[in-house]
Structure 1
Amino acid sequence: MTPTSQVDLDTVTPGGEIALGGDGPVATLTLGTGQRLNVLRRDDWAALERAAVSLASREELRAVVVLGRGGVFCAGSDLREWDGATPEDVSASFAGMEAALQAIEDLPAPTVAVVEGFAAGAGCQLALACDLQLVGRSARIGMPIGRLGLLVPPTFATRMSLRIGPGRTKDLLYGGRLLAAGEAHRMGLITTVVDDGAVDAALAELLAHWDGLSAASLRASKAAVNYGLDALVQPARRAPQGRACDPSEFAWRLDTFLHRHRTLPPR
Structure 2
Amino acid sequence: MAEFVTLETSTEHPGVGTIVLARPPMNALNRQVQDELLAAAEQASVRDDIKAVVVYGGPKVFAAGADIKEMNDMSFADISKIAGRLQAGIGAIASIPKPTVAAITGYALGGGLEVALGADRRIAGDNAKLGVPEITLGIIPGGGGTQRLARLIGPARAKDLIFTGRHVGAEEALEIGLVDQVVAPDEVYNAAVAWASKFTAGASSALAAAKTAIDAGLDTDLDTGLKIEAQVFAALFATHDRTVGMSSFIENGPGKAEFTGK
Per the TM superposition, whether the score is higher than 0.5 is: yes
SS of equivalent residue, structure 1 residue 19: strand
From the superposition, tell whether residues 92 and 22 of structure 1 become closer, same or farther in structure 2 (CA, over 3 Å). Answer: farther
Q: Distance in 2 between matches of 1:150 and 1:94?
A: 13
Alignment partner, residue 168 of structure 1: 157
**RMSD, aligned CA:** 2.1
From the superposition, tell whether residues 97 and 50 of structure 1 become closer, same or farther in structure 2 (CA, over 3 Å). Answer: same
**Mapping of 1:9-88 within 5 angstroms?**
10=1, 12=2, 16-22=3-9, 25-33=15-23, 35-88=24-77
Deviation at 1:30, TM superposition (A): 0.8
Deviation at 1:101, TM superposition (A): 3.5
Is 2:192 the partner of 1:203? yes
Structure scoring higher RCO (CA < 8 A, sep ≥ 6) equals 1
Alignment partner, residue 98 of structure 2: 109
**Mapping of 1:107-256 within 5 angstroms?**
107-153=96-142, 155-231=144-220
Q: 2:102–2:192: 8 Å Cα contact kept in structure 1? A: no
CA displacement 1:220-248 (0-9 Å, x = unmatched): 3222211321327xxxxxxxxxxxxxxxx
SS of equivalent residue, structure 2 residue 74: coil
Q: Distance in 2 between matches of 1:36 and 1:160?
A: 26
SS of equivalent residue, structure 1 residue 53: helix
Q: Which sits farther off after the overlay, 191-200 or 126-135?
A: 191-200
SS of equivalent residue, structure 2 residue 149: helix
Deviation at 1:182, TM superposition (A): 0.9
Letter in 1 for 2:162: L
Letter in 2 for 1:28: T
Correspondence for 1:90 among 71, 79, 89:
79
Count of aligned positions: 218
Letter in 2 for 1:221: A
Q: Which runs of 5+ in 1 are unaligned?
A: 1-9, 233-267
Deviation at 1:29, TM superposition (A): 1.0
SS of equivalent residue, structure 1 residue 145: helix
SS of equivalent residue, structure 2 residue 220: helix
- Superposition TM-score, scaled by structure 1 size: 0.74
Q: Distance in 1 between matches of 2:57 and 2:82?
A: 20
CA displacement 1:143-175 (0-9 Å, x = unmatched): 011111113449421100111111111111111
Q: Which runs of 5+ in 2 are unaligned?
A: 222-262
Q: Distance in 1 between matches of 2:169 and 2:193?
A: 24
Q: 1:62–1:218: 8 Å Cα contact kept in structure 2? A: no
Q: Distance in 1 between matches of 2:163 and 2:219?
A: 26
- Superposition TM-score, scaled by structure 2 size: 0.76
SS of equivalent residue, structure 1 residue 134: strand
